[in-house]
Chains A and B, each alone.
Chain A
C-alpha cells in the first residue's frame, strides 16, 4: 500500500479548484490529483500513490522503476487492476 508508481503527466485540468491530471503508467492511464505537487507540468514524471501525486521524479529513474514493476507484476497490483475477484 505504500508502494507508489511513477507515471508521466499527459494532461491537466481543473476540477472545482483542484488540479487533476491524466497520468500514463506504462500504458495504463489513471486520473490523478496534483494538489500536492503544485510545480509539476505536462510531460513531468511523478510518483503516484492511491490517486495522488506525491513527488516529482526524473524521467530515467521513472522509466527504470516502471519497467521493473511491470516485470514482477507489481504495477497491476498497485494500480488496483489485479485485485481480488469480488
Chain B
C-alpha cells in the first residue's frame, strides 16, 4: 500500500478501505462526476487500493474539457482582435481549438492574460478604458456565482468595456444524460462537493427517485473520496438508493441561497453542447436578457466558425467513461500536455492529464 501515507491520516484511510472491502460482495461501477476527484483518485491510487469488484468510471466533470469547440474557436477569434484584452483562467490557455490555441495567439502578439478571479478582469477593464476586456467564463455551478457577481458589479459600476464569454455547464442534467444513455453502466454517483456547496442537494432528489441510483455529495481530498465511495457501496450492497452527504463540513442541504439568487438574477438555463458528448438539454447557463449588453458573444460578431476535432482524439469516449485515457492510441504519443490533441490532456481536471501525470510510466511498462 505505497500510497497510504499520502492520505493525511493513514490509519483512517486503512479503516475506510477495510470497511469497503468487507462490505463488497459483488461488482459495482461508480462514477465520480468531478474531474478534481478523478485527479485525487489517480494521484493517490484509490482505484488500485479498492477491491477489484469496484470500478470507478471517470465522469465528464471537467469544465475545460466540455466547453464546446465552437465556443473555444469563438474565444480564439475574439482574443486575436487588436482592440481586445482577453482574460482567462490558466487551464484554458492550451486547450486546442480547431486550428489554434490561446497560447499561440499570445505568442503572435495577442493580449491574453491569465487571471485568478474574474474580478481581476474587471480591474483590468478599469485600467484600460480604451480596450475591450473579455473574460472567458467557463465552469460548473461552483464557478458561476463568481462570474455572475462579476458581471453584476460591472453593470452596477457602468464598466462598459467589460464583457463575459460565458459557457457554464450543470451537473444534474449531465447525470440524467449519463443515466439515459443506453450504454451506461453507472450504478452510483459521487456528486461534486463544491457544486453542492453552491446549489445544495435538492436537485439530486428526483434523480435518485427516478433512476433508483445512490448519489453522495463528496469532497475532493483522498479521505473524502474514500468516504463517498464507502457510502455509495454500502447503499448498493444493502439495495438502497438514497441521497447522502459525505461532505457536511462544506455542504448545507440548502446550498448557498445568496449565491443561487445572484446566479438566478444574471443567468438563464439553456441547452448546451458538451464537447465530445453532444447536446444535453437544459444543461447550461448563459447571460439573460438583462445582461445581454455584457455578453461577448453578442458584442463581437464572429462569423464562419467551422469546427474541426482531431481525428485521433477519443475525448468524447473518455468523458463519458466509455474508455480509460490510456486506451486511446494517441495517449502519451501524439498527445501529451505540451502538445495536446484534446482538452482532457490539458486541464488540471482532465482525465487524460491525470493519467499522464501519475500513470504514464506504469502504462508503458
Contacts and interface: CB of A to CB of B under 8 A. Distances in A.
Interface of A: 1-4, 16-18, 30-31, 33, 35-38, 47, 49-52, 54-55, 57-58, 61, 64-65, 67-68, 71-72, 77, 79-80, 83-84, 86
Interface residues of B, number: 55
B119 A51 contact: yes
A47 B86 CA distance: 27
B244 interface: no
B91 A1 contact: yes
Contacts of B43: 72
Interface string B319-348: 000000000000000000000000000011
Contacts of B63: 1-2
A64 B7 CA distance: 11
B220 A52 contact: no
Given A72-B6, A84-B94, A54 B198 contact: yes
Contacts of B208: none
A52 B138 CA distance: 15
Given A30-B116, A57-B250, 7 more contacts: A1-B91, A49-B146, A50-B146, A54-B145, A64-B8, A68-B221, A84-B90
Contacts of A31: 119
B226 interface: no
A69 B339 CA distance: 27
B161 interface: no
B192 A2 contact: yes
A61 B63 CA distance: 27
Contact of A84 (B93, B115, B116, B117): B93
Interface in B80-118: 89-91, 93-94, 103, 106, 112-118
Contacts of A71: 6
A58 B249 CA distance: 8
Contacts of A3: 36, 194, 220
Contact of B256 (A2, A55, A57): A55
B110 to A, nearest CB: 10
Contact of A77 (B138, B143, B157, B348): B348
Contacts of A51: 116-120, 146
Interface in B260-300: 262
B308 interface: no
Contact of B117 (A2, A52, A65, A68): A52
Nearest to A60: B249
Given A51-B118, A72-B6, A80-B115, A1 B249 contact: no
Interface in B176-218: 192, 194-195, 197-198
B221 A2 contact: no
B8 A2 contact: no
Candidate in A36, A47, A57 with the most chain B CB atoms within 10 angstroms: A36
A86 B106 contact: yes
Contacts of B115: 80
7 contacts: A2-B220, A33-B146, A35-B149, A47-B197, A50-B89, A67-B8, A84-B94
Contact of B139 (A2, A38, A68, A84): A2
Given A47-B250, A54-B256, A80-B90, A2 B143 contact: yes
Given A35-B149, A54-B145, A54-B259, A1 B348 contact: yes
A54 B142 contact: yes
Contacts of B94: 84
B114 A86 contact: yes
A30 B120 CA distance: 11
Nearest to A4: B194
A37 B250 CA distance: 13
Contacts of B91: 1, 84
Given A2-B140, A47-B194, A51-B116, A36 B256 contact: yes
